[in-house]
Amino acid sequence: MGRALRVVLAVLSGLVLVVAAACGSGAPTSPGAGPGPSTTPAPPPVNVAVQPAANATDVAPRAPVGATTTDGTFTDVTLTASSGGPVAGTLSPDRKHWTPDGPLAYGTTYTWGGTATAPGGRTSPVTGSFSTMPPDRTVRATINPGDDREVGVAAPITIQFAAPVADKAAAERALHVRTSVPTEGSWAWLPDQDGGSRVHWRPKDYWRAGTQVDVRADLLGVALGGGEYGREDLTTSFRVGRSQIVRADVNSFRMVVIRDGQQVMDVPASYGLDSDPNRTTRSGIHVVTEKFDNKRMVSAQYGYDLIEHWAVRMSNNGEFIHANPASAGAQGSSNVTHGCVNLSTPDAITYYNSAIYGDPVEVTGSGVDLAPSDGDIYDWAIPWDQWQGMSAL
């Protein structure tokens, strides 16, 4: 081979090495290794928060419960009870919040379900579960008047608790009164002699005739203090009927009935013997609570055991408006009874047929006032300012 040809071959060999070096990355590689795959970070989950926290226990039925998403919207949300199926609830208009429509049940496990979706299409499930407190140490309550009753203008709303209520403010905050016409009124906690607690609501003045009244006692799950909780919610809806007021001036020896502003009765009567405080008909606003066509009346102190007729109870201390032929000679002229209002049989029947629960009986002129010891409903004997001060709020 000539010298010139050897020079050409050497130059070409160098060029090949240069080209090969230029094609490399300059970084050391393992034999046979190629370029790695391209990776994209996974999208973050849609933010979903539930309340109470997952696996919470002993949750009160009225504790805050809900599901919320801040960077998406709910496609659907469910809260299912271990017994009883799905819980009714409401999704907010922007579909970011879901809350149940009412309180939960005692002693139940609840499980979340559903899906939250972000604007880009990302989704996350709604998950978790919690359980409510077991149904022990609950307090039963009753409400009066009952549904669909027609009552007189002095009828109070009464709620009786079967056990003492330590946190009366908490209980009272759960009580709601709605009236068809504006009506000023207040709750008041009254002494209870049956081992429980009781609270009454009355208007400042007599109800207006025809008023529709709706009451809610949202007591289920309310902490009443001392480890006690309300057992259940209560509701009632009743109507105030015509206005009928008895005016009973014991010194007039007559009983007057005013209905819707018009006098409809003015009849002879005999009231309690005022010289004996135990027999005096108490002064103050009484309230009709029940009536009997035949009523046994017994007094060991005064030695009688009688069946009286057409008896309308106006207090729990034994005061009735009733027929009594035995006192006919005194009716209209003197007071001889043991505290009742005695009428003739025809007058007693007429009044009996007109009286309803809640009618006021305004007794005046006697030497003894109506007092708490005289029965459950002495509400109108308490001045309005004092009554308001008996509220827990």
Handedness of CA 259, 262, 267, 271 (dihedral sign): positive
Question: Annotated catalytic, 340?
Answer: yes
The catalytic residue among 200, 286, 322, 338 is: 322
Catalytic residue among 200, 286, 338, 340: 340
Q: Which residue has the tokens 């043991």?
A: 338
23 flagged as catalytic: no
Virtual torsion, Cα 378, 380, 384, 388, nearest 10 deg: 40
Task: Tell me the catalytic residues.
Answer: 322, 340
